[in-house]
Amino acid sequence: MPPDNELLIRAAARDGGGLGTEEAGVLFAAMLAGEVAPHELSRILAAWRGRRASLAEVTGFVRALDAHTGRLEKPHDGPRPVLLPAYHGTLRQANLTALVALLLKRYEIPVLVHGLGGAGAAVAGSGRGAGPDDASASLVNTADVLWELGIEPAASLADAQARLRHDGIAFVPSEVLAPGLARLCAGTPRDSLPTIAQSVAMLMDPFGGDGYRVIGTASADDLAVIREFLLVSRTDALLFEGAEGEPFADPRRQTPLEHVAAGSATLCADAEAHDVNREPSLPAAPDAASTATWIANVLAGSEPVPPPIIAQLGCCLAGARRLGAAA
């Protein structure tokens, strides 16, 4: 039976209390299952846009989403797969999530990118050439860049599993990995998705806790909420304030990078780790095609890897391999 949404909505909107873990899980499960009417859903999302979610609420949300997330098997040998949740896209700078993914692949780290489908994802299998609609023309999703680099979205969980096994990398749209989450985000402008939906999406792990999450938050507030959850739940991740909320370090300045594991956080790279004295070489334009061309040049060695990305790569390699050895 669907929960008493009205009572839970009123509780969610309270400034002081909010929801307990069980209540939050029940409500978020109903949202993911499509059991909440559109007008009620708008009220719920508006409530969480106006205040910070509590630890109890985030815990309930994550548990509910975990039950609605598809499952994948991690490789039996070697390092754990790295998870790159890409739910924001970029408006003001080149989206370099694909560069991080492909650099990790080069070091034989399995990489699963999951997130919102872009223009390429929408036309997978129907030929290239379709572009994004006018409303999102300036937003570049990771899916768009991967598409330009020849990495198409997985059509199913089985397809994603095969790509991980044979290619070492896969992009899985949220529609495939967690359809309920995709429905929750549908129809909302990409540059104003509910913070709570984005935050919870970044905590997904279809490997049942065996993946190494790389979480680039959209703001310091988001980072504080997620750090609290990671510490209390003893979840393993690389945590930092991402570039426009994407899971790559800003190439123009060194971002503090935290490795969170076993209930504690340690600094993997601080703001002084690399001194970016000059503007790094970056794509001529932030669109998907220009970004993909630049990434290909970096991988070919004709363009340097920005130092903050090198620092992030080192943290990811250390985290994934350390966790893999302990598994």
CATH number for the domain that contains residue 35: 1.20.970.10
Same structural domain, 196 and 96: yes
Among 32, 67, 102, the domain-final residue is: 67
User: Residue 74 domain-assigned?
Assistant: no
Same structural domain, 94 and 40: no
**Secondary structure (DSSP) of 27-45:** HHHHHHTT-S-HHHHHHHH
Q: Which domain holds residue 56?
A: 5-67
Same structural domain, 57 and 161: no
**Dihedral sign (CA 212, 255, 150, 189):** positive
Same structural domain, 106 and 169: yes
Phi, psi of 80 (to 5 degrees): -70, 155
pLDDT by residue (tens digit) across 311-323?
Answer: 999 999 999 986 4
Among 42, 67, 92, the domain-final residue is: 67
User: Residue 167 domain-assigned?
Assistant: yes
Among 24, 42, 67, the domain-final residue is: 67
Same structural domain, 24 and 150: no
Domain count of the fold of the chain:
2
Model's pTM, two decimal places? 0.89
Same structural domain, 181 and 232: yes
pLDDT band for position 278 (cuts 50, 70, 90): low
The average pLDDT across 98-105 equals 98
Same structural domain, 104 and 197: yes
Examine the pLDDT at 126 and tell me if it is beyond 50.
no
The CATH number covering residue 236 comes to: 3.40.1030.10
pLDDT by residue (tens digit) across 40-73?
Answer: 887 777 777 767 788 999 999 999 999 999 999 9
Same structural domain, 237 and 269: yes
pLDDT band for position 120 (cuts 50, 70, 90): very low
pLDDT at 132: 39
Most confident of 5-19, 146-160, 263-277: 146-160
